Homo-oligomer: A and B are copies of this chain.
Amino acid sequence: MKIAILGTGMVGKTLGTKLVACGHEVRMGARDAANEAAAAWAASAGSRASTGTFADASAFGEVVFLCVLGEVATKVVEAAREGLAGKILVDLTNPLDFSEGMPPKLFTSGSDSLGKRVQAAAPEARVVKALNTVSCNVMIDPASVPGDHGLFVCGDDADAKARVLSLLREDFGWRVIHDLGPLAMARCTEGYLPLWVSLYGLMGTDRFNVAVQKGG
Chain A residues packing against B (C-beta within 8 Å)? 97, 100, 103, 105-106, 109-111, 138, 144-147, 149, 152, 178-181, 185, 187-189, 191-195, 197-199, 202-203, 205, 207-216
A110 near B106 (CB under 8 angstroms)?
A: yes
- Residue of B105, B111, B203 touching A110 (CB-CB under 8 A): B105
With A192-B191, A195-B188 already in contact, the answer to whether A215 and B103 are too (CB < 8 A) is no
Known contacts being A105-B111, A106-B110, A188-B195, is A207 close to B214, with CB within 8 Å?
yes
Give chain B nearest CB distance to A199 CB in angstroms.
Answer: 6
- Tell me if B214 and A103 are in contact (CB < 8 A): no
Q: How many copies does the complex hold?
A: 2
Query: A212 to B216, Cβ gap below 8 A?
Result: no
Contact A210 B210 (CB under 8 A): yes
Would A199 and B211 count as touching, CB distance under 8 A? no
Contact partners of A152 in chain B: CB under 8 A: 195
- Nearest CB on B from A49, distance (A): 27
Does B105 lie within 8 Å of A211, measured CB to CB? Answer: no
Of B194, B202, B210, the residue contacting A191 (CB under 8 A) is: B194
Q: How far is the CB of A106 from chain B (nearest CB, A)?
A: 7
Minimum CB–CB distance from A20 to chain B (whole Å) comes to: 24
Contact B213 A211 (CB under 8 A): yes
